[in-house]
Structure formats: structure tokens, C-alpha cells
Amino acid sequence: MKSKQASFGIEYSKNKLYIDVTGFYKKVGGITAANQGFYNNIQTFNSIGNYEVKGIEFLINKQTEKISTWLSYTYSKNDYTFAIFKPQTFSNSLDIPHSLSAAFNYNFTKQVKISFGGVLRSGKPYTKPIKGNETIQNGNRVIVNYDNPNQERLDNFFRIDLSGSYKFNFSDAVKSTIRIGFTNLTDKKNTIDSYYIVAETNDDNVKRVDSFSLPFTPNLSFRVRF
């Protein structure tokens, strides 16, 4: 494998305000199709190809005595190229064209802090079977008849998290922290991966299998330091 990459950025910092804009480019050659986790009819072929990713990142951060907040946005284009496929160039399985995230931290006191954050990003690419001809015979077994790779895209991913912490001391030598957090505060059902299998009851039909991120998940921790 061989890779080459470059980036160029501009940053500004004054009065606890920080702004950064960076463009980037990366190309990696010598990768094999069999190791990329494709779901398609030739996913096991030992074809050599490359992937190319380019884009731009923007970050802004502002701090005060009690508040720290930041916002970031990334636009990128990430494509595979394999001569074995049609089309030869198509979206990388990890291609996320748009990603927006933000966070807000507030210190009520030195002991009490809260954090609030969220992320909104494009869904990952995935591959569907050919409509009307979803399965084919492959030797003694029936397999999914996939269409061109990564031509479809999952729904956008969206999540909001909230957490807080409280520090207190049992004594000068024994200190403790209580943290409580809530992951996926809105209980959004985010699909993070999708593929198809042949239906158990009918070889002419397929069944979609989805993987989901965590639903609404509270967590609590208590730490003692001595």
C-alpha cells in the first residue's frame, strides 16, 4: 500500500476565540476489494484499487470564565476506484459528505459542571439488491443479487447528549466525583449499517438487516480518589 496526503489551514486566535479552516487531500493505493467489507456479488474478488478523500473542515471555539462552546463542520468526498466494478469509481463505505457537531460546557461552580452536545451527519452508503431480481443461484446455494456497490445512502444520523458532574471531598485526602449522563436524549433510531440476506422462507426474497446505534441510554458513575 502507498499513500500521499496534504493539508492546508488557516487559524485565528484572539480573546479566547479560536477559528480554524483546513482543507485536506489523501489518496491510498494498493488496497484490496476483499478487505473493504463490501456487500455485493464480487465482494470476495482479489482486485487492487485505491480510495481518495478530499474536503474541508471548519472549527470555531469560544471560551469565557464559565463557558466553553464550539461548533465544527466537515465537508468531504471519499471515493473508491476499482477496475473490477461498474462503475469503477463509487462512494467509499465510510463516506460522510456532511458532518455538523456542536458542544456547550458550563461551569456553575468549580464543583458543578454540565455539558450539552449534538451531532448531525450524512448517512453511510450501502448496497441494495437488483429490484425484481433480488437473488441468484451460485453453485449449490442462493445468494443476494446485489446492484452496483454503495449507490444508496442511509438516513441522516442525529444524536444529542447531556451530562453533568459534581465534585465533593470526604476529606482533604479523599475526593470524589459523581457523573450522570444521557446518551441520545431524543431516543432517535439511527441506522448505522445495512445489508441483505436471503429470506429463510423463500429463496426468491431477501430480508434487510439493519444495525442501530444506542437508543436513549442513561449512565451514572461514582469515582473516589485517595
Averaged over 75-79, what is the pLDDT?
A: 97
Per residue in 32-49, pLDDT (tens digit) is: 887 777 776 666 667 899
The proportion of the chain whose per-residue pLDDT surpasses 70, expressed as a percent, equals: 97
pLDDT band at 108 (very low <50, low <70, confident <90, very high): very high
Q: How much is the average pLDDT of 173-180?
A: 94
Do 103 and 70 touch, CB atoms closer than 8 A? yes
Q: What is the pLDDT of residue 216?
A: 97
Mean pLDDT, range 159-180, rounded to an integer? 94
Domains and CATH numbers, the chain: 2-225 (2.40.170.20)
What is the chain's length? Answer: 226
Provide the pLDDT confidence category of residue 116 given band limits of 50, 70 and 90.
very high
Q: Considering only CA atoms, which of 139, 134, 129 is closest in space to residue 203?
A: 134
How far is Cα 78 from Cα 96, in angstroms, rounded to an integer?
Answer: 8
- Whether 113 shows a pLDDT value over 70: the answer reads yes
Q: Could you report the per-residue pLDDT of 122-153, keeping only the tens digit for each?
A: 999 999 999 888 898 888 888 898 888 899 99
pLDDT, residue 10, reads 97
Q: What is the pLDDT of residue 95?
A: 95
pLDDT interval class at 6 (50, 70, 90): very high
pLDDT, position 44:
63
Q: How far is residue 9's CA from residue 61's CA, in Å, rounded to a whole number?
A: 16
CB proximity list for 53: less than 8 A, separation 6 or greater:
24, 25, 26, 27, 76, 77, 78, 79, 92
What's the CA gap between 130 and 90, in Å, rounded?
17
Phi/psi zone of residue 88: left (φ > 0), alpha (ψ -120 to 50 degrees), beta?
alpha
Map grid coordinates 500521499 to a residue. 4
For 218-222, what is the mean pLDDT? 96
